[in-house]
Amino acid sequence: TLEDPTGVWERVIKSWSARKASSAQSLAHQPMEALSETSLQSLSGAVGMEGTGRDFSTPKFYNFLIAVLATSIRSFTDVRFHGLARIPRRGPAIVLCNHISNLDGIFMTQAARRPIHFLSKKENFVNPLKRFVMTSTGQIETYRQTGAVDALARAVDALDAGLPLGIFPEGTRSRNPESPFLQRGKTGAARLAARFPHVPVVPMVMIGTREMMEPGKMGIWPWKRVEVNIDEPITFAQWASDPMGGGLSDEDVARIAGLEDEGMREEMSGLYRRFTDQLIETMRLMGAP
């Protein structure tokens, strides 16, 4: 368990120099200026992701449910939160977490102390009771077969509305029978971060939820210790110009913007993959089992 996850992402970015050639390392340590707003808008547009234009709001039932769950969960769990103040209490945010149990979303919402809207697989909307819970709490149905295009459009609507999103970057709960459970991340969260370069991205790690509620089982083992580690938020704007992050300058962004569609997609895909890999490495260092 990592007792103080402060600045783990920052350390991950700095440690990335170990994967570069020595000449590149020396260049990487030179300070880089923040990207201009023109460059950030260019990157945002290059994502090619738009909302549906429909209103997105938090159902009142969700606020009621959170209040009830917060009280009841505290009565039979031993949950330790580290870094609660790092989650923005207002405005849009992208909260990213490892996924080892069906309880993860509940503890993420508890940590945020505000409703979080999750991208959730379509199977959770089939059963009538589950569908009621999902729709009445404003969760976003995701069709993996289509690359979650519709879900990402609604995610854009949610962020435009100033609401927080919850995403499991691994895409699904870990199927590994034993540790390590952390899987390679998918890049949807990185695309959203690039689309909204000033929205804080908050890495979070669950430890112990798998032992409290094992995959495939409905029973809950109360009083099992759960640790929730929260790192300092970072924005895509900060990451993109960091030498050990995206390593981009305004000139680099202008070059990308001048590429043909295929070349631009390739460049952006490389940024999404790098962002995602550093996120997963951050989670590992934060104690993700």
Rounded average pLDDT over 5-28: 49
Q: Which domains does the chain have, with CATH numbers?
A: 34-212+225-285 (3.40.1130)
Beta-sheet pairing, 78-82 with 225-230: parallel
Tokens coding 163: 């609401």
Largest CA distance in the chain: 59
pLDDT attached to residue 166? 96
pLDDT attached to residue 4? 56
Rounded average pLDDT over 195-211: 95
> In this structure, how many other beta carbons lie within 10 angstroms of the beta carbon of residue 215?
14
Q: Which residue has the tokens 């993996």?
A: 144
Is the model's pLDDT at 178 over the cut of 60? yes
In one-letter notation, the amino acid at residue 147 is G
Q: Which DSSP state fits 234?
A: B
Tokens coding 76: 């039979």
Q: What is the pLDDT of residues 260-283, one digit of tens each?
A: 999 999 999 999 999 999 999 999
Q: Which residue has the tokens 């890495």?
A: 203
Check residues 255 and 23 and name the one with the higher pLDDT: 255
> In this structure, how many other beta carbons lie within 10 angstroms of the beta carbon of residue 51?
17
Is the model's pLDDT at 242 over the cut of 80? yes
Is the model's pLDDT at 30 over the cut of 50? no
Is the model's pLDDT at 120 over the cut of 50? yes
pLDDT attached to residue 1? 43
pLDDT attached to residue 71? 76
Rounded Cα–Cα distance for residues 35 and 249 (Å): 6
Is the model's pLDDT at 22 over the cut of 50? no
Confidence of residue 23 (pLDDT cuts 50, 70, 90): very low
**What sign has the CA pseudo-torsion 105, 109, 115, 116?**
negative
Q: Highest mean pLDDT: which of 40-44, 50-54, 218-222? A: 40-44
93 three-class SS: strand
Q: What is the pTM of this model?
A: 0.87
Is the model's pLDDT at 75 over the cut of 50? yes
Angstrom distances, CA of residue 131 to CA of 128, 167, 175: 5, 19, 24
pLDDT attached to residue 70? 75
